[in-house]
Amino acid sequence: MKKLLGLTLLFALCLMGLGCASNSSSGGGSNPQTANVFVTGEDAPLPSVVGFNVALNSITLNGQGNTTATVLSTPTTVDFARLVGLRSPLSFSSVPANTYASATIVLASPVINYITLNPSPTVTTLNGTFPNNQNPYTVTVNFPTPMVVGTNGLAGLRMDFDIRQSLAVDGNGQITGAVNPVIFIKATRASDPDGQITDLTGGLVSVSTSNSSFVLQGPYGRQLTVYVNSNTNFNSGWSINNMATPAIVGVQGAFQADGSLMATGVEVITTSRSFVSGRVLALTTNGSNQVQQITMWVGETGADMVSDIDSIQTVNVSLLDNSNFDICFFNGAVTESWFSNTTVVVGQRVFVGGSYSNSMFTPEMISLRLQGVYGMFVPASVTVDSGNLGSFQMSNNGLVGYSVGGPVTVNTFNLTYFNNLTGLGQLQTQTTSIPLVTRGLLLAPNGNPEVYAGFVSEPSN
């Protein structure tokens, strides 16, 4: 599937093996020992930006002894705005065992899509420019501490491409098109919460029940082998035993040393090949408040509808009933009925599966997707029931804030992972506003959109 998923701003380059600081050795020689590396994507967003496409020409690690190791060599157009707080795989390759202190990234041809919310949501496209009109543009980022990659070792890099600081705005807050990449990188592991794959969607290629695995056609033309075990959660009614082509499947999990994924969650989204996925910009309802049409910014599609990527499309869903509505990676923290034909709201990230024939798309189901929301923490807004069970508010000047009409409530749970924060209790004592990124579901069970978060992070500076 061409450009099945737009990858976004956090690159985690994780070298597969034993540990970030294990078995240190330097590269070199005619037959150096190697380790494998995978690259994933995430972002640190600017709320009004719904698309930020950049050609990623290459990524090269710089090691001791003036040695280098290329982990991405095929130019790939990446949407750095699509996966806020989510991670999806970009590449997998081998590098020499060595100590690496920096990465050199070559970027080209930025294109910015930003939304204007009033009087109605519209999207404007700008061709961006790098400093001094350089295209391509090369940037080298030093790591806070060197990354030691041992033979067959496991190491990784978390790389935040900060849209908030990278895209220039004028005195009226309008995006100008100037792009000055601001990037932060630090080490991580594939097994760490910020190193795992949290959003991968692809077409099912084949299933091997005897090996408890299946092959997924993932982003950028790459196929991935996904393994499952007794700890893998499937959505209701599905298991490795009844998966079959054609189907669109969502996966969460972690890379293994051979480049495969061990899945923690598998969702069979739809048994058709056609779909559109993206953020809801507007909707119409009938007299019973049931959604009739959804206008959405399309970020991902199947190969047969690839021309709809990075465009506004209106989808007629009036014939769908509540049996056609689903919540992705449903884990019991919320009620399935909270997403229905009366609770679709602006700002949600949705997947619409169906059939495509004679240039016409016929919807057959809608799945609510995990999404990230960036905003500023509202001091004195925290409620703690026990542990991390409670809520707080944050302001958002993008689609979610537009939908809510003010600060959005973020609900957290005892299993919510707090990154760069000790937990909800720390936010309770926070007296100043700080930026936060949450990952979870945007739901409106009572008519008011709220985030139900599995992940809360204070972005790296």
The pLDDT of residue 185 is 79
Is 392 in the same domain as 293?
no
Global confidence as pTM: 0.79
CATH number at residue 235: 2.40.50.320
Domain boundary residue, one of 270, 290, 320: 270
What is the C-alpha to C-alpha distance for residues 175 and 417, in angstroms, rounded to an integer? Answer: 33
User: Do 176 and 228 share a domain, yes or no?
Assistant: no
Output the pLDDT for position 17.
29
Residues belonging to the chain: 461
Residues 147 and 46 in one domain: yes
Peptide bond into 136 cis (omega under 30): yes
**Model pLDDT, residue 176:** 93
Count Cα neighbours of 162 within 13 Å in the Cβ-side half-sphere.
15
Separation CA 263–CA 291 (nearest Å)? 34
Is the dihedral angle over the CA atoms 62, 65, 66, 69 positive or is it negative?
negative
Q: Do 160 and 86 belong together in one domain?
A: yes
Residue 2 lies in a domain: no
Q: Are residue 360 and residue 284 in the same domain, yes or no? A: yes
Domain presence at residue 4? no
- Of 167, 187, 207, which one is at a domain's C-terminal end? 187
In a domain, 410, yes or no: yes
Per-residue pLDDT of the chain (461 residues; tens, 9 = 90+): 333 333 323 333 333 322 233 233 333 334 445 655 555 545 555 667 888 888 889 989 999 989 999 888 888 887 877 656 666 666 667 788 888 899 999 999 999 998 876 777 788 899 999 999 999 999 999 988 888 877 765 566 777 778 888 999 888 878 999 999 988 877 777 676 666 777 788 889 999 999 999 999 877 667 889 999 999 988 878 999 999 998 889 898 888 878 889 999 998 888 877 889 999 999 999 999 999 999 999 988 877 788 888 888 999 999 999 989 988 875 556 777 899 999 999 999 999 988 888 888 999 999 998 888 888 999 999 999 999 999 999 998 888 988 899 999 999 999 898 988 999 999 999 999 999 989 899 999 888 999 999 889 887 65
What residues make up the domain containing 360? 274-368
Residue 1, domain member (yes or no): no
Residues 363 and 290 in one domain: yes
Whether 111 maps to a domain, the answer reads yes
Domain count, the chain: 4
Report the 10 Å Cβ neighbour count for 116: 12
**Residue 192, in any domain of the structure:** no
Q: Are 364 and 380 members of one domain?
A: no
Query: Is residue 282 located within the same domain as residue 261?
Result: no
Enclosing H/E stretch for 427: helix 424-428
Rounded CA-CA distance 1/458 in Å is 34
Give the pLDDT confidence score for residue 33 in this predicted structure: 59
- C-alpha dist (Å) from residue 140 to 35, 60, 67, 107, 143: 22, 9, 15, 11, 10
Q: From CA 261, how far away is CA 418, in angstroms rounded? A: 24
Q: Look at residues 218, 237, 270 and tell me which one is the last residue of a structural domain.
A: 270
In sequence order, the β-bridge partners of residue 179 are 167
Query: According to the model, what pLDDT value does residue 423 have?
Result: 94
